Amino acid sequence: MKNRVTELLGIRYPIVQGGMQWVGRAELAAAVSNAGGLGTLGALTQPTPEDLAREIERCRTMTDQPFGVNVTMLPTVNPPPYERIFDVILAQGIRVVETAGNVPKAVFQRLHAAGVVIVHKCTSVRHALAAEKRGVDIVSIDGFECAGHPGEEDVPGLVLIPAAASALRVPVIASGGIADGRGMAAALSLGAEGVNMGTRFVATREAPVHEDVKQALIAARENDTRLIMRTLRNSSRVLLNPVSEEVLELERRPGGAAFEVLRPLVNGQRGRAALESGDTRNGLIWAGMVAGLIDDIPSCGELIERMVGQCRARLAAAAVLVAG
């Protein structure tokens, strides 16, 4: 499969693994890159920029294929040392950076000056156009179905992907709502030139999370996610569990709940502990609606080969409709 996305990212298939917090580690990123997609390390998963440098080096011992680093700039409990994180990314010669959130113009300029390809994630056409103006190379457009932060405008991929593809000149990667070759074929038909998947890659053999987290994704249906922190305008899609229910309960109270009240429930360290221990009822498990489409735990290689085969079959089946 060759198009602008595969060319810019130096990959065989236009399939990108989102740089998920606590999950985007070397084991997963290397497996995705070895399978022909783009694996991504999550910069904020590492406690310090020095640890990020070591993780990049560890990833390089597991793959000789390109991989990227995600840097998310959203509200955090402990603001990360972004300047030093970018120092490490550049010093390590990383060629692809996935950015998300409120990224200062100077960051884009610095990455570009070093020849880095920037994939910017956003959740509205308005923000995508602003990012294009600032020179990002690819926009990863994140529909309402997605895990994590879908923004506040609630436009699902079926509308958002073609709207972005029509408005932008740079290539679009479709993110949110994709878990198999059917979703990939649909995204390509809507005008995207690649797909980004997060939740689907959590339920793979190489994902560095407890087996019970993978089983929880298999058990979940498409209506088993919840949007929390909407009252703070920091909406976040997570699995339905006692913690997300408690957050919603607090938010529903008259006057809502200040972040400080929600913090013991939502903080990342608690979610990390749940991912590592498999106690999926005791911390936030970030997941998209595609949890309802996941029913096995393949290797990344099996997943990507199966997706590409299914995508090709779907596109070929659709081509029959225009043959006559």
CA nearest neighbour of 70 among 149, 4, 167, 13: 149
Nearer of residues 225 and 236 to ligand NAD, judged by Cβ = 236
* C-beta closer to ligand NAD: residue 267 or 282: 267
Q: Smallest gap, in angstroms, from Cβ of residue 76 to ligand NAD? A: 3
Alpha helices by DSSP H, 63-150: 82-91, 105-113, 125-133
Between the two ends of the chain, the Cα-to-Cα distance in Å is 25
The tokens for 173 are 């990667």
Tell me the C-alpha distance between 280 and 146, whole Å.
19
Task: Return the closest-CA partner of residue 138 out of 42, 12, 6, 23.
Answer: 6
Cβ proximity to ligand NAD: between 8 and 44 the closer is 44
For the bound state, the minimum distance from the C-beta of residue 238 to ligand NAD, rounded and expressed in Å, comes to: 9
Nearer to ligand NAD among residue 81 and residue 93 (C-beta) = 81
Closer to ligand NAD by Cβ: residue 77 or 91: 77
Compare residues 79 and 115 and give the one whose CB is closer to ligand NAD: 79
Distance CA 131, CA 222 (A): 31
Could you count the other beta carbons within 10 Å of the beta carbon of residue 133? 9
Measured CA to CA, the distance from residue 69 to residue 232 in angstroms comes to: 28
Contact predicate 127/147, CB 8 Å: no
Q: Which lies closer to ligand NAD via its Cβ, residue 63 or residue 234? A: 234
Q: Which residue has the tokens 């221990």?
A: 277
In the bound state with ligand NAD, the residue whose beta carbon lies nearer, of 65 and 99, is 99
Report in angstroms how near the CB of residue 258 gets to ligand NAD at its nearest.
9
Please report how close the Cβ of residue 239 comes to ligand NAD at its closest, in angstroms: 13
Least distance to ligand NAD from the beta carbon of 211, Å?
Answer: 21
Please give the residue ranges that form the binding site for ligand NAD (CB under 6 A): 21, 44, 72, 74-77, 100, 147-149, 229, 232, 234, 236, 259, 266-268, 271, 286
Among all chains, which residue has been given the structure tokens 């994902």?
Answer: 207
Residue with tokens 């994140």: 142
What backbone torsions phi and psi does residue 242 show, to the nearest 5 degrees? -60, -30
Nearest to 202 by CA among 32, 59, 13: 32
Q: Measured from the CB of residue 267, what is the shortest distance to ligand NAD in angstroms?
A: 4
Residue type (1 letter), 59: C
